[in-house]
Amino acid sequence: MVVAETLAGIALVKSAVEGIKSTIATANDIGDIAGHVDKLLQGRDQANKAKREASTDPFSIKNIAEETINAKLAEEHLDEMRQLIDARFGWGTWQGIIAERARRIHEAKEAEKALRRKKMKEHDEMVETVTIGGTVIIGIVAVLVAVYFFFRSMFR
């Protein structure tokens, strides 16, 4: 399965490269190729993720060679796209895309962490409320039992 994911990631990278090459000359703005850039980065990420999750023999020369070559090929394609995009839209455009993507990923992760902290806090508050409520109920029951036995012993 890992090999299939890696191959799918590489195929996505190649497809995106072909799409960018075919539209870069006629693109009026970066939005015209944005979908291809997305596929390019997704393909690279997918191949890298599959590489990290490899369950086969991590010491196999074949696996190491494939992982290394696939990573180098993906980086070559990325560099080629960087050059094409920077040449068409101005130096630094590619770096701006990468930086903005990294910023958005970071913000999404931070938002997810904040949501987890909020849920954990709500859970802790609920547990505290239930604990306090249970303690109060036990106290009331104890008082009622004491009052019951008090009055029962008085009227005997």
Q: From first to last of the 156 residues of the chain, give the pLDDT tens digit.
A: 556 676 777 788 888 888 888 888 777 777 778 888 888 888 888 877 766 665 567 777 887 787 788 878 888 888 998 998 899 889 999 999 899 989 999 999 999 999 999 999 999 999 999 999 999 999 999 999 999 988 888 876
How far apart CA 43 and CA 39 sit, in angstroms, is 6
Q: Is the pTM of this model over 0.75?
A: no
How far apart CA 25 and CA 105 sit, in angstroms, is 29
| Confidence (pLDDT) at 52 | 67
| Confidence (pLDDT) at 61 | 83
| Confidence (pLDDT) at 3 | 63
Burial of 6 by CB count in 10 Å (0-12 exposed, 13-18 middle, 19+ buried)?
A: buried
Query: Helices 61-89 and 34-52: crossing angle, nearest 10°?
Result: 160
| Confidence (pLDDT) at 41 | 85
How far apart CA 128 and CA 124 sit, in angstroms, is 6
DSSP letter string over the chain?
-HHHHHHHHHHHHHHHHHHHHHHTTT-SSGGGTHHHHHHHHHHHHHHHHHHHT--S-TT-HHHHHHHHHHHHHHHHHHHHHHHHHHHHH-TTHHHHHHHHHHHHHHHHHHHHHHHHHHHHHHHHHHHHHHHHHHHHHHHHHHHHHHHHHHHHHHT-
| Confidence (pLDDT) at 46 | 80
| Confidence (pLDDT) at 56 | 64
